[in-house]
Structure 1
Amino acid sequence: MTTPAQPESAGATCESSPMVLGLPRVRYGLLVVAVVAQAATVLITWPLWQVRETPVHMPLVDLPQIPFGGWMLATLVLVLIRPRLGLAVHAASLLLAFVFDQYRTQPQFIANAVLMLATVENVGVVIVRWFLASLWLWAGTHKLISPDWFSFGSWNMVQSLHVDPEDFQMLFAYGVALGEMTVGLLAIFRPRWATVPCVLMHVGIVIFLSPLFYDHNESVIPWNLATAVIGGWVMFHSYSVRPQFRWEWITAAVLLVYPAGFYLGWVDHGIASVLYSNHLPEGMITTRDGADKISGWGDLHVPFPNERRLLTLYFQRSSQPGDKLHLSEPRPWLGDRYYVLGADGELVPQTREQFVNGSETDVFGMEVESRRIRFLLARAGVKLLRREKGGVIYAVEIPPNRYRPDLLEMLAGLPNLEQINLTGCEVTDDDLKRLPLLPKLVGIGLSDTPVTNDAIETLLKQPRLMVIEYQQSNMTLDAILEFEKQRPVDE
């Protein structure tokens, strides 16, 4: 009885075919696909590889900046001339470019280089099989456990399909997440069965990201095309289901397990296959001129790599002493962080109370708003008010016919609120107990509501609340005057 063909023999099956620079013609052709994809990705993101003023570079160690774009393209030419040597030089250059600027640690650059390995080395077929299995399995898993994916993330995508999101959002959200997981499981247990799904999935992603539909993140389109071609070839040539050697068992185990480290803060999301789940840390910088959320795109054509260390590094390198940073963390066991930039550029941790309270000489810190909460409140008919386009939400108004007590709890996701208008709503004293602590809240409208004087005790817990509109409610003027007496004088 013969044993299944070993992974190394996948490459050997082509050895009798015509050779090009030491590689079978088919594998060299696939190498060209990967090289062209990487070159296209570098060209699309060309400013990212140059010396620039803004956004600031984020080096691993403080180094004088040098341009990398031309060099990266030169290493890709070397890959075509001397495949094995060229791939080694390209991979080393990619890592060096990351050291000079961690903004470049985007998953598409890493994945394109990994795909080249499948074409250059026989063992690369094995490694890339498990790399793709991990990629697909975890991309789906991250979405499946992300509340952000099941709210604004999938909703925005479904809108681009020119259908009613009300009817198709959940089908799309579960379909994409479970579909990715299914392809990943096939790559683990029946890799050859994953061939066609791999091709269909990645070609479908390219079509979806094109201007025909979502029109977003063009820098990943070359990678998806290369994965459709090379990934399909890898799956088709992964004859053995079970790992054949100890090193393959170890490789498979590491690649399938390490993305879980993202949830402990040990692994960057860019290499943990956290793709479009939107469940990432975010940062808001407050200066004397206002507040800006840290984001990417623009001329660089890539998102900001939202890692905790990079958000703080960007803050240190782009801000002035006295500026403040709120680092919002969706993984509750890791917790939010609040900082002020010290005189020497050092990070000075603050409590939330210290952060939000300011003075004539101290900035009043602004916090990151929850995009999911904004989405859910808007869907519930709540009016969200900003002072300027792109600014933080400073006031909300809940129409009486859309009021629900749970909407008050959701306001915790809008920590910069200054005003809440509940006029005409059937809000009760017990409902107000569900209102979260809002450190900037100064006014609340309770006119024409059933609230009574008993609500005063609850409202006194809001540290900066000064104004209660109570006309035509069951509150009395005496109770309001007593409330005002209990407010701190400096408020």
Structure 2
Amino acid sequence: MATRSFNPAVDIANMLVQPAESKFWAGLTKLQYGMLVVCVSAQTATILFTWPLWQVRQAPVHLPLIDLPQIPFGFWLLATLVVMLLRPRFGLGIHVTTLLISFVFDQFRTQPQFIATAVLMAATVDERGLRLVRWFLASLWTWAGLHKLLSPDWFSFNAWNMTSSLGLDPTEFGEAFGWCVGLGELSVGLLAILRPHWAAIPCALMHVGIVLFLSPLAYDWNYSVIPWNLCTAVVGCWLLASVPQRLPEVGWEWAAAAVMLIYPAGFYVGWVDHGVASVLYSGNLPDALITSESGLELVEGWGDLNVPFPNERRLLRQYFALSAPPGSKLHIADTRYALDDLYYVKKPDGQIALITLDEFHADAPGVVAGVGLDDQHSVFLLGNRGVVMLKRTEHAPIYAARIEPDVYRADLLRLLAGLPNLEQLDLSGCAITDADLQQLPIMPKLEGIGLADTKISDAGLNALLRQPKLTYVESEGSLITPARLEDFERKRMQP
């Protein structure tokens, strides 16, 4: 008697796939309809949890694609979900249409959890939707992993913070955690491309794991994505066990697969929004800081909306134009290699204008001097290597740094470029050389530097002439001659 070999992928497929002729409602099988109920329940829960996002509000300001009178969308969206349960295909069409229209009224709503759950619904209504969503999930996981592996932010503060939330020492496990998560997501994505049945169980385990991680048991953050992850664990597992175990056989599916797998790369040149490019927890997003007479505002969302700000360069500009008073300035910091930082001022007529870095830091009547955004990656690396950094208040930028002699390395100087508001730098006693000072970036607000008890000479002092506001050099115990120091200070005092 022949023995049956155990094949998890085949067993899952047999359990989850019903015969096509077993119809339950509106042409759907019981299992398809059950998956639809899961999607509708997840979308309903997410909308209710973020209810203020779908209403007309005063703050934070709406970010319309077209300037139209605002209307509420919460009850309309819930109504379309009810219709979907009664007439699945028709309901899906009006739900997606309503969702897209709501984005036109307010781009704050372009959050990945709403978009991805709506896409999952398409898998429940027919086989073409099933095949299409297979490639959506393959792209989602492949690029979620790639974005992490390519992001300097992920392998610094993001992975370390997450490792700490698990009760582990990030100095020992942080890097390993970063690699495991990134490679794990990438592996599930590749399985979904090549052997989708094999990816069914990893899909369920991965998304249930994400839910547990985001719960109060660990990271305790961003609850609005928990319904989406639960939905993906269930519907994704069923979908991967149901699709044909093969590559596309028809032209439209090849085209869909190619588009799904390629378009997220456009994120790195600013062509594709991160919300639809599977940039999930990897960092590497543009951030913005607004300087006004009343103080500083880091643009970050959350609050009653329960979602982060959709950090796209155009939306950060739009938020600044709509919310900041005239005379304010905006710094958009972008860590993507192909995209530079941007600086703006809001004019008296309410229009915003792109300005240079020097103009950003300068003040004028009715216009504040801009405060640059500290680069989190640089701050992490400097702090992790023992550099002491000071703030005047908890939410203020870093204004002073001290590098102790026992932690000094020349490559730390280049990282100071990530501290655009640095006013004081103490290198006293460090084994710094004249050549090292050539690596010091131009710091627009640096006023004083400590070089006491170092081997810096007059040649090194010449390198400091590049610093536009540097007026004080502590040189006692160095090789800088008094005459050269006096000449340096005299030149700096000249207008």
Which category describes the TM-score, using the shorter chain as reference length? over 0.9
The TM-score, its normalising length taken from structure 1, stands at: 0.95
**Greater shift after overlay, 473-482 or 220-229?**
473-482
Identify the residue that residue 166 of structure 1 maps to in structure 2. 171
Give the letter for the 1:418 counterpart.
E
Structure 2 counterpart SS, 1:374: helix
- Asked whether the 8 Å contact 2:432–2:455 carries over to 1, the reply is yes
Q: Which among 405, 411, 427 is matched to residue 406 of structure 1?
A: 411
Identify the residue that residue 125 of structure 2 maps to in structure 1. 120
Is 1:329 aligned with 2:346? no
- After TM superposition, the structure 1 = structure 2 runs for residues 335-354 of structure 1, keeping only pairs within 5 Å, are 335-354=340-359
Cα deviation 1:301-355 (Å, max 9, x = unaligned) = 1111111110100110011222111121222322221111123222211111111
CA distance in 1, matches of 2:187, 2:479: 58
CA distance in 2, matches of 1:78, 1:372: 47
Give the letter for the 1:154 counterpart.
A
Identify the residue that residue 273 of structure 2 maps to in structure 1. 268
Structure 1 counterpart SS, 2:249: coil
Cα deviation 1:95-118 (Å, max 9, x = unaligned) = 011001000000000000011111
CA distance in 1, matches of 2:31, 2:493: 77
Identify the residue that residue 430 of structure 1 maps to in structure 2. 435
Structure 1 unmatched runs, 5+: 1-9
Give the letter for the 1:71 counterpart.
W
- Asked whether the 8 Å contact 1:12–1:122 carries over to 2, the reply is no
Identify the residue that residue 61 of structure 1 maps to in structure 2. 66
- Asked whether the 8 Å contact 1:11–1:122 carries over to 2, the reply is no
Deviation, 1:446, is 1.5
Deviation, 1:258, is 0.8
Identify the residue that residue 225 of structure 1 maps to in structure 2. 230
Is 1:355 aligned with 2:354? no
Identify the residue that residue 158 of structure 2 maps to in structure 1. 153
Is 1:449 aligned with 2:454? yes
Give the letter for the 2:203 counterpart.
C
Deviation, 1:123, is 1.2
Structure 2 counterpart SS, 1:72: helix
CA distance in 2, matches of 1:74, 1:11: 30
Structure 2 unmatched runs, 5+: 1-14
Q: Which among 85, 93, 114 is matched to residue 88 of structure 1?
A: 93
CA distance in 1, matches of 2:457, 2:17: 82
Cα deviation 1:358-380 (Å, max 9, x = unaligned) = 23543111222210111111111
Cα deviation 1:380-408 (Å, max 9, x = unaligned) = 11111111111111111112221111111
CA distance in 2, matches of 1:317, 1:81: 41
Identify the residue that residue 248 of structure 1 maps to in structure 2. 253
Deviation, 1:291, is 2.4
Identify the residue that residue 201 of structure 1 maps to in structure 2. 206
Structure 1 counterpart SS, 2:124: helix
Q: Which among 303, 308, 311 is matched to residue 316 of structure 2?
A: 311
- Asked whether the 8 Å contact 2:153–2:283 carries over to 1, the reply is yes
Cα deviation 1:14-66 (Å, max 9, x = unaligned) = 33335134321111111111011001111111111111111111000111111
Q: Which among 287, 297, 307 is matched to residue 292 of structure 1?
A: 297
Aligned residues: 481
**Greater shift after overlay, 168-177 or 351-360?**
351-360
Is 1:277 aligned with 2:301? no
Q: Which among 259, 264, 269 is matched to residue 259 of structure 1?
A: 264
Deviation, 1:128, is 0.7
- Asked whether the 8 Å contact 2:64–2:104 carries over to 1, the reply is yes
**Aligned-pair identity (%):** 55
Change (3 A) 1:115 1:150: same
Give the letter for the 2:391 counterpart.
R
- Asked whether the 8 Å contact 2:157–2:380 carries over to 1, the reply is yes
CA distance in 1, matches of 2:150, 2:422: 28
Deviation, 1:11, is 11
Is 1:439 aligned with 2:448? no
How well do the aligned residues superpose, as a CA RMSD in angstroms? 1.6
The TM-score, its normalising length taken from structure 2, stands at: 0.94
CA distance in 1, matches of 2:32, 2:100: 25
CA distance in 1, matches of 2:429, 2:365: 38
CA distance in 2, matches of 1:34, 1:335: 40
Structure 2 counterpart SS, 1:472: coil
Give the letter for the 1:94 counterpart.
L
Cα deviation 1:132-171 (Å, max 9, x = unaligned) = 0000001101111111111111111111111111221121
Is 1:373 aligned with 2:396? no
Structure 1 counterpart SS, 2:59: coil
CA distance in 2, matches of 1:108, 1:12: 26
